[in-house]
């Protein structure tokens, strides 16, 4: 009887650990809100002037 309790506890811990790992992995992949993906390619002093002049 004690063996079954120990096995159930180990199984429960394994399931909880897997769920916590999956949630942590899922949270890590979310991009930050409010930031453009290629902000770091262009210096902030340009203010989009390159794009405005190329579209005219």
Q: Which pLDDT tens digit goes with each residue over 43-53? A: 556 555 555 55
pTM here? 0.47
pLDDT in the model for residue 25: 87
CA distance 24 to 43: 33
Bigger pLDDT: 55 or 16? 16
Confirm if 18 and 24 have CB atoms less than 8 A apart: no
* Greatest extent of the chain over all pairs of C-alpha atoms, in Å: 80
Q: Which pLDDT tens digit goes with each residue over 3-39? A: 999 999 999 999 999 999 999 988 877 665 655 555 5
pLDDT in the model for residue 27: 82
């Amino acid at each position: 009887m004690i063996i079954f309790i120990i096995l159930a506890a180990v199984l429960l811990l394994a399931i909880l650990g897997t769920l916590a790992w999956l949630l942590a992995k899922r949270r890590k992949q979310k991009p930050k809100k409010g930031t453009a993906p290629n902000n770091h390619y262009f210096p902030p002093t340009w203010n989009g002037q390159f794009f405005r002049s190329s579209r005219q």
